[in-house]
Amino acid sequence: MTKEEVRQKLLEMKEQYIFEITGEKAKKKTYSKLYFLKLNDNRYLACDVLAGFVIGTIIEENYMTLEKTLEMIQGYLDEGYILVGISNPKFPKVIK
């Protein structure tokens, strides 16, 4: 998956949806899965546990721009992670 394809998918995602990648076939597996939550077109969050978005404390320093998110995802894809999909996690509250 190219950087532009990832960018397009991130921009086309609906807000409060997640972009999920898995490292089960990666050469160097830091995380088994990673989730990227879209808050708006230039604000994303990342977590290795889906429930972390709901139960974790979200601080300003954790917000990422589109470019930072794209850079992070591309780094993992280069290590062998693959896209699982984009989905609505149906959180019980809106993550801000």
Condensed to tens digits (0 to 9), the pLDDT of residues 3-54 reads: 999 999 999 999 999 999 999 888 888 899 999 999 999 999 999 999 999 9
Contact of 19 with 1, CB cutoff 8 Å: no
What does the block give as tokens for 72? Answer: 């992070």
Q: Which residue has the tokens 């300003």?
A: 60
Alpha carbon distance 44, 94 (integer Å): 13
Alpha carbon distance 51, 57 (integer Å): 11
Judge whether residue 57 has pLDDT over 80: no
* pLDDT for 11: 96
Judge whether residue 77 has pLDDT over 90: yes
What does the pLDDT average to over 58-73? 93
* pLDDT for 96: 87
